[in-house]
Amino acid sequence: MKYDLQLCIGSRLRRLSRIADGHFRSKLSEFNITENQMTILFVLSKMGKVEQGKIGQSLILERSTVSRNIKLLEKQNYIKRTSDYRPEIELSKEGTELVQTLIPLWEETMDELISKLGEDGLTHLTALENSFN
Amino acid sequence: MKYDLQLCIGSRLRRLSRIADGHFRSKLSEFNITENQMTILFVLSKMGKVEQGKIGQSLILERSTVSRNIKLLEKQNYIKRTSDYRPEIELSKEGTELVQTLIPLWEETMDELISKLGEDGLTHLTALENSFN
DNA sequence: ATATAAATGTTGTATATACAACTTAGTGCT
DNA sequence: AGCACTAAGTTGTATATACAACATTTATAT
């Protein structure tokens, strides 16, 4: 055996992502929103009015994942979209307000995680990302 | 804004895990097996005959996830389990053979990923894990 | 020994993700 | 204009995951 099976990079990253998600999710329990949807709202908050496809490009999410999330967010009136086949998406007033509510919670979670990861943690994470690109 | 929204540790780890999974998955296309199931088979290969719950403890997987995967693996005769309420699980002959087939493919993928991550990559990953524990 | 509590397994529900198939729209070529 | 090609959105299917509800088994307390 060249490597120990415990070293599997796939299962380790899956686990890390489950842990991080759990932290964010625990802050979201009172909102009818998932971590992933929060991320999409944040991206929209940054990008303003954009084609749906841009969201996936920005987060490297599959088209279908974006499509379904957009539908869920629209159902809750957090986003508006034009009726084109390739719609343009933007936050609604409610969505903008929700983002303002979520940001402090998100920041708390980031504080929590960064205090766990330590100063170097983010550096390690960035290093991993850079090598994967 | 205390942090840039792009820094979100949750979405970044989700993305890293999607990338790594993609590498493993591309090697598994000819097998009727997922990355996660492969990991479970590998754990069983290490642990021998164990209670189902030990699998989840080892991989930090939810009971329900383990339960469903065990069912899928049993359907393909890769594992055997006792008929108790808390069954003991072990690889079948087919499962053991599959593991032997998968190990070289898994090693190739690990080589690929490690060549991307570089020497320090694994160190970074380990550092992240240690701080999350 | 029996009742209660704790641990574990299963199942239902909802989202996340990948991938394939299909739809629709836009582009370029002739 | 008409046709082929491409890009993007949607939907279906299957697994991954979380969480809740429920079932079963084991442990504990009296």
Q: Which residues lie below 8 Å from residue A12, measured CB to CB, with a gap of 6+?
A: B125, B129
For the cut 90, the answer to whether the pLDDT of residue A59 exceeds it is yes
- A112 by Cβ neighbours in 10 Å (0-12 / 13-18 / 19+) ranks as middle
Whether the pLDDT of residue B133 is over 80: the answer is no
Q: What are phi and psi of A31, to 5 degrees?
A: -110, 150
Q: What is the rounded average pLDDT for all residues in chain A?
A: 93
Using a 10 angstrom Cβ sphere, with 0-12 exposed, 13-18 middle and 19 or more buried, the burial of residue A118 is middle
Question: What's the CA gap between B131 and B133, in Å, rounded?
Answer: 6
Does the nearest atom of strand C lie within 7 Å of B70's Cβ? yes
Percent pLDDT > 90 in chain B is 86
| Residue A103: strand, helix, or coil | helix
The band of A57, judged by pLDDT with boundaries at 50, 70 and 90, is very high
Residue A77: the pLDDT is 96
Q: Is the pLDDT of residue B43 over 90?
A: yes
Nucleotide D13 C1' to residue B32 CA (A): 15
Is a pLDDT exceeding 90 seen at residue A56?
yes
Whether the pTM exceeds 0.85: the reply is yes
* C-alpha to C-alpha distances, A27 to A22, A35, A76, A107, B100, nearest whole angstrom: 9, 9, 19, 10, 43
- What is the CA B51 to C1' D25 distance in angstroms? 14
Q: Do B128 and A46 touch (CB under 8 A)?
A: no
pLDDT over 80 at B115, yes or no: yes
* Record: contact B23-A10, CB cut-off 8 A: yes
Report the nucleotide nearest the CA of residue A14, measured to C1'.
Answer: D16
CA dihedral A122, A125, A130, A131 (to 10 degrees): 140
Q: What pLDDT, on a 0 to 100 scale, did the predictor assign at position A6?
A: 86
